[in-house]
Structure 1
Amino acid sequence: MKTVNHKLPDRRSSPSMMRTKIFAAPPPLAYQTFSDQQQDVIDLLEVWQLLVKRKKIIFQITLVSLMLGIGYSAVKPEKYAYHTMLQIGTLMPGQPKLIESPQDVFNKVKSAYIPLTLDENRKTETDTKTQPKFEDILPPKDTNLLKLEMHCKLKDEQLCKSLINGVIQKITLDHSRMLNISEKNLSGKLKAAENALKNSKDLLEYSLQKKKRLTQTAELITNQLKEKKAMLEKNLKNRSSIKSSSAAGAMSILLIDNAIQSNQTLIDNLEKQLYINLGQEQDNLEKAEKDNIRHQSEQQNAIDEIKNLLLSINNTEAIVPVLRSENPVGTTPTVIVTLSLLFGLCAGLLAVFLLEFTGRVNSYNKSASESALHAV
């Protein structure tokens, strides 16, 4: 309670006002407390007491879960990984020019070849409910390798190998079509190069034959020169022995001079043909022969390169046959038992807390009902 001070009334005021007591009393202040609100708070000690109290339930649930885990691990069929590595074929040597990139091959395998192979297997196999599935394995970067893998039971080993080989066969047939086009182009280039080399060899043979004929022609001209020079010497001797005083001698000298001039002209022509014309032609043949040999060498190199290209073309194939992993894949029995033990323990704790919560709710409802009956 709070008292408010006031001034005394003036004596000159009215008596009614003097008798008035001026006191101000504010309303009582209300303080909110939490003592009326009951809350269930479980501390660590209560939790421990609760777990000790309900330990039988926890043990039973954990034991059941553990037994189920042991039973499942005992009857769970073991699966093995069946896998192989595909090496994507190449079109050119010395450079990474593949038939297709590993990512493109992977997309084809995943979206086309695997579904087609599995569909073909469904048509031939009666039991398709347990048909194994391919594992999604992305191709490694910067390589020409692609892995195919399936997880199968031992009894399905032949089925898994058949499915993987079926996918490999489809990839190989697809890439064979691409390789045939490249091989045809290279085979055409090889045929053209071989024909060019054959023509060069024919030209070289013709040049050698012509060179041989030039040699024979030179020998023939040399023999003619010898004969004409001998005749020229003979004419010169005859001319020096004839006397020009008589008319017959003058006529003979005239005839001999004509013969000498004719032989000298013929000798000049033969020497020109032998030392100039035949020499120039022989030089041209030797130069053509050298050029021909050089061209043959270049053409042979081109042929060898094309042959190497043909030999270096490789189709896509499996590096190794389909292999089985040494150990089973998937969750091991130890992991299954451990997980079942942890699951049973967690389920037991949850069950205890739910039972305690349910019990307290029922107790609260019962107390509320009794309080309502007493109030009535």
Structure 2
Amino acid sequence: MSTNKESLQNIRHINTQQAQDTGVRYIMLESNHEDEINLLDIWLIIVKRRFLLLSVLLLCFLVGVYVALTAPLMYTWSTAIEVGVGDYDKTGVSRPVEAPSSVLAKLQQSYIPLETRKMINTGSGIVEVPAVNANLDKNGNIIFLDIKGSDENKALYTSLLNSIVDKVKQDHRRLSSLKRKDLELSLVSSENSLIRLKDHEQLLMSQYKRLDKKQALLETRIVETRGLLSASTQTREKMLRGASTESKVLLLMRTDSELRAHRTLLASLEEQRQITLENTRETMQIKLTENRQQQLEKNASIDRDKIQLENLLETRAIIEPIRSIDPVGTSQKLIIVVSLVAGLFLAVLAVFLIEFFEKARTYAAERG
């Protein structure tokens, strides 16, 4: 330090001499080394105030330990709502009673605030209830509910979650009941229609069997008519061989009339057997086929309604509200570490502030 001062005095002397010789005035700015930051000085200050630094650090550590040990442990109570199945599309794929996104919106905007307010207004001394979070499972029908709080309010959180779930179930119970009633009515209607189709099938089968009897009767009459026609023909031929008399002419005219009647009857009977009867048989076969097809459709409809009734699920809570196994939130270790870091910062700050105030006081005393 003395060497620096001597150098500055020599430079000041030379500048003064030059100013006297040339008439030019030089201004020299002296360097103040005391304002420069020196790591060694900082270390000396810390060593000097080490007891203060350790005291502040120990105080913050004790405060952190106290907070970590006395702060209540926070847990998560959670449950899950499965939106019920209330309908099926044309392809038979199940659809929820209500769109899960709509249920989530109702929970967030209506059910959760309403049940929370009811819980506060019960007069149990509760002023504030932690927020209930609702989240929808992606591409699913499950909505998760959770609430964070201390273990001492376990009954409160469980009751709140159950009341929210009951609110959703109550809203969906009406829709599920309507769908169940609709399926039951559809099932009864299909079963009654199936009974009527089976009765009609029995009637058609009886009519179809009677066609065989009718065919046999027609064949019998055809044989008889052919016999009468043959006899009338033979009689006419005999009458034509003999001499013609007035009585024989009258008898011949009557025989010709009988021949025409027998031929007409025979043609009608043949038409009934070969055309009318076969047409009736084909028509009844078509009706039987249609009837049996309708029975298959009704059986499929009955099976579908039964499956839908069996798979019709009510909106329900998958699990009762349960507490998380491990505490959530800031851990005790993290609180202690943060208190140590904060204590170190405050301790260093306190050391330098006291050192600054002490130097300021000394400087003010020297100036005074």
Question: TM-score if structure 1 supplies the norm length?
Answer: 0.77
The offset of 1:119, in angstroms, is 1.6
The alpha-carbon distance between structure 1 residues 365 and 152, as it changes in their structure 2 partners (threshold 3 A), is same
Query: Larger deviation: 259-268 or 240-249?
Result: 240-249
Match in the other structure for 1:316? 315
Tell me the CA shift for residue 33 of structure 1: 1.4
Distance in structure 2 (CA, Å) of the matches to 1:96 and 1:44: 75
Please give the alpha-carbon distance, in whole angstroms, between the structure 1 residues aligned to 2:100 and 2:367: 74
1:134–1:148 CA contact under 8 A, matched in 2: no
Cα contact 1:92–1:313 (8 A) shared by 2: no
Q: CA deviation at 1:290?
A: 1.9
The SS at the match of 1:136 is strand
Cα distance 1:249–1:316, how it changes in 2: closer, same or farther (>3 A)? Answer: same
Pair 1:167-2:164 in alignment: yes
Cα–Cα, structure 1 residues 34 and 227, in superposed 2: closer, same or farther, change >3 Å? Answer: farther
**CA, structure 1 residues 34+187, in 2 after alignment: closer, same or farther (shift >3 Å)?**
farther
By percentage of residues, which structure has more helix? 2
Query: The residue matched to 2:161 in structure 1 has which SS?
Result: helix
The one-letter code of the counterpart of 1:60 is S
Distance 1:368 1:321, change over 3 A: same
1:28 counterpart (12, 24, 27) = 24
Question: Which structure is larger by alpha-carbon Rg, 1 or 2?
Answer: 1
Per the alignment, residue 51 of structure 1 pairs with 46
Is the contact between residue 62 and residue 345 of structure 1 (CA under 8 Å) also seen in structure 2? yes
Give the superposition deviation at 1:163.
0.8
1:234-276 deviation per Cα after TM superposition (whole angstroms, max 9, x unaligned): 4456566777347566655554444343223212211111211
Change (3 A) 1:165 1:252: same
Q: Which whole-Å CA distance do the structure 2 matches of 1:188 and 1:334 have between them?
A: 64
1:45 Cα deviation from its structure 2 partner: 0.9
- Aligned counterparts of 2:23 and 2:223: Cα–Cα separation in 1: 164
Correspondence for 1:112: 110
Segment of structure 1 superposing worse, 326-335 or 241-250: 241-250
Deviation at 1:366, TM superposition (A): 1.6
CA shift digits 1:265-309 (9 cap, x unpaired): 212211111211111122122123223333443454345445545
Amino acid at match of 2:27: Y
Equivalent residue number for residue 145 of structure 1: 142
Q: Quick one: distance in 2 between partners of 1:360 and 1:105?
A: 69
SS of the aligned residue for 2:313 comes to coil
Paired residues, what number? Answer: 344
* Matched residue SS, 2:75: strand
Matched residue SS, 1:360: helix
Matches of 2:151 and 2:312, distance apart in 1 = 38
Q: Which moved more, 1:191-200 or 1:308-317?
A: 191-200
Aligned-partner residue type, residue 149 of structure 1 = D
Task: Work out which of the residue numbers 201, 204, 207 in structure 2 matches 1:207.
Answer: 204
Task: Say whether the 8 Å CA contact 2:193–2:298 is kept in structure 1.
Answer: yes
Distance 1:30 1:297 in 2: 120
SS in 2 for 1:320: strand
* 2:134 aligned with 1:134: no
Task: Rate the CA distance shift 1:50–1:96 in 2: closer, same or farther, 3 A.
Answer: farther
In structure 2, the partner of 1:286 is 285
Question: Taking structure 1 as reference, are residues 145 and 294 closer, same or farther at Cα in structure 2, changes over 3 Å only?
Answer: same
Matched letter for residue 48 of structure 1: W
* Aligned pairs for 1:156-195 within 5 A: 156-179=153-176
Partner SS state of residue 54, structure 2: helix
Q: 1:107: Cα distance to partner?
A: 2.9
Which secondary structure state, in structure 1, belongs to the residue aligned with residue 24 of structure 2? coil
> TM-score with structure 2 length normalisation?
0.78
The structure-2 alpha-carbon separation of the partners of 1:104 and 1:232, relative to structure 1 and needing over 3 Å to count, comes to closer
Q: In the alignment, which residue of structure 1 is the partner of 2:264?
A: 265
Equivalent position SS for 2:77: strand
**Structure 1: stretches of 5+ with no match in the other structure:** 1-24, 370-376
1:84 aligns with 2:83: no
Which 10-residue stretch deviates more, 173-182 or 103-112? 173-182
Offset from partner CA, 1:208-256 (integer Å, 9 cap, x none) = 3443443333333233223333434444565667773475666555544
Are the equivalent residues in 1 in contact too, given 2:135–2:145 (CA < 8 A)? no
For residues 308 and 147 of structure 1, what CA distance do their matches in structure 2 show? 28
Letter in structure 1 aligned against 2:326? N
Q: Distance in 1 between matches of 2:310 and 2:88?
A: 10
Give the match's secondary structure for 1:124: coil
Change (3 A) 1:58 1:92: farther
Question: What is the root-mean-square deviation in Å for CA atoms of aligned residues?
Answer: 3.4
What secondary structure sits across from 2:26 in the alignment? coil
Distance 2:123 2:233 in 1: 115
Equivalent in the alignment of 2:360:
361
List gaps (5 residues or longer) in structure 2.
1-20
SS of the residue corresponding to residue 281 of structure 2 reads helix
Q: State the SS of the aligned residue for 2:282.
A: helix
Structure-2 separation of matches of 1:32 and 1:104: 81
